[in-house]
Amino acid sequence: MTQHKICMLGGTGFVGHSLATRLVALGHRVRVITRRRERKKHDLLVLPTLELIEGDVYNPAVLRQQLEGMDTAINLVGILNERGRRGKGFERAHVELPRKIVNACREVGVARLLHMSALHASMDAPSYYLRTKARGEEVVHSVENDEFSVTSFRPSVIFGPHDSFINRFAALLRITPLAFPLACPESRFQPVYVQDVVEAFVRSLDDHHTFGQRYDLCGPRVYSLRELVSYVAEVMGVRRKIIGLNAGLSKLQAAVLEFLPGKPFSLDNYRSLQLDSVCDKGFPPIFAIEPSTLESIVPTYLVRRPLRSDRYSSMRQLARRE
C-alpha cells in the first residue's frame, strides 16, 4: 500500500479524529490544521505520525504553506448551524473554503482530494446547509483533470462515540422532564457508523475507480426521528413521553431554540428535515463494507445516566462549553 502525506482540514472534529487515527494506524503521515492547537493536542498528538498545526484554513497563504509537500488533501470542514440566519456562514464554510482548498492544491501540486459533502445536497434543496454543500461539491469537482482527482462523500447522519446526533438527543432527554416535544417526528434517517465512513475514505485513497465519483453513505436501516429518540431513551434507561409536533409547532420550536446557546435546533435544521436523509441504494459495493447497525454500537457509548445531577453537564454539552 502506498504511504501518503495527507493534509486534513476539519481533522479535529468527530469524524476527523477517527479518520486521522485510522490513517496513522495504516502508516500514513498526517498533518492536521486547527485554529486552536492547545485544545486538541492531547487528543491527536499521541498519534505517532501526526503533525498538529495551528493556522487559519481560510487564509490562502496558510493553505499553500501547509499543503506544500503533501500528496493528498482531505476536507471535512462543515457546520450544521451558522451564527447569523442569512446563509453567509454556510457559504463561507461550504463554498468559499473548498474553492480556496482546490486553488491551493493546484498551486502546490497536491494531486488528490477527498471531500465531505452531505446526503441530498442539491442546488434546489430547502436549506442553506444542503444548498451550500451542493455548491461546494460542484466547486471541487469542476476543477478535476488528469493531474487532480476528487472523490466526494455524502453521508446520512453519522453516529459513534462523541457524535453530535445521538449524544445531543441524549443530552436533551436528560434535561427534559416527563415529556419530550419532538419536531418533525416522522422525518426519516439512515444513520451510518463513523468507522464505516472512515473506511470508505481510506479505501478510496488509491482506488482509481473512485476518482471523480460522489458516494451516498448510509447504514443498513431506516428510522423515523421518533423511533431514534425513543431508542436513545430506552438505552439510557429513562422514561419520556415523546410528543410529536405538527409542522407549525415544529417550525415554532426551531425559531425559539435557535436563540439558545449552541443552537440545539434552528430554522435551517427544520428546513433540512423536510428531506428524508435516506439512501436510494445500499452502501456503495466498491468499498466492500458491511455497514454496522445502530443497535450494535450505540449501547457501547451511550451511558445510562437518568440522574438529576447530570442535568448541568448535559446543559453544558448542549451549549458546547465542555
What is the 3-class SS of 177-215, one letter each residue? Answer: CCEEEECCCCCEECCEEHHHHHHHHHHHCCCHHHCCCEE
Q: Do residues 112 and 258 both lie within one domain? A: no
Q: Do 15 and 149 belong to one domain?
A: yes
The residues that bridge with 42 in the sheet, in sequence order, are none
Digitized pLDDT (tens) for each residue of the chain, 322 residues in all: 689 999 999 999 999 999 999 999 999 999 999 987 766 556 787 899 999 999 999 999 999 999 999 999 999 999 999 988 889 999 999 999 999 999 999 999 999 999 999 999 999 999 999 999 999 999 999 999 999 999 999 999 999 999 999 999 999 999 888 899 999 999 999 999 999 999 999 999 999 999 999 999 999 999 999 999 999 999 999 999 999 999 999 999 999 999 988 888 999 999 999 999 999 999 999 999 999 999 999 999 997 554 444 554 555 555 554 4
State the pLDDT at residue 309: 47
Handedness of CA 266, 270, 271, 272 (dihedral sign): positive
Q: What one-character-per-residue DSSP string does 6-49 give?
A: EEEESTTSHHHHHHHHHHHHTT-EEEEEES-HHHHHHHHTTSTT
**pLDDT for residue 285:** 98
In this structure, the answer to whether residues 81 and 107 fall within a common structural domain is yes
Give the CATH number for residue 204.
3.40.50.720
Helix (H) or strand (E) holding 228: helix 225-236
In this structure, the answer to whether residues 242 and 204 fall within a common structural domain is no
Q: Is residue 284 part of a domain?
A: no
Residue with cell 436533551: 172
State the pLDDT at residue 83.
87
Q: How many structural domains is the chain composed of?
A: 2
Q: How many CB atoms lie within 10 A of CB 229?
A: 22
Is residue 283, in this structure, part of any structural domain at all? no
Same domain for 239 and 211, yes or no, is no
CA-CA distances (angstroms) from residue 263 to 30, 85, 200, 322? 32, 12, 30, 15
For residue 285, is it within any domain? no
Q: Are residues 62 and 209 in the same domain?
A: yes
Distance CA 297, CA 18 (A): 15
Is pTM beyond 0.95? Reply is: no
* Whether residue 207 sits in one domain with residue 258: no
Position 44 scores a pLDDT of 85
202 and 245, same structural domain? no
Is the same domain home to 131 and 38? Answer: yes
Domain boundaries, position 106: 5-158+192-217
Residues 259 and 138 in one domain: no
CA angle (97, 102, 103) in 5-degree steps: 95
Domain co-membership, 153 together with 99: yes
Residue 289 within a domain = no
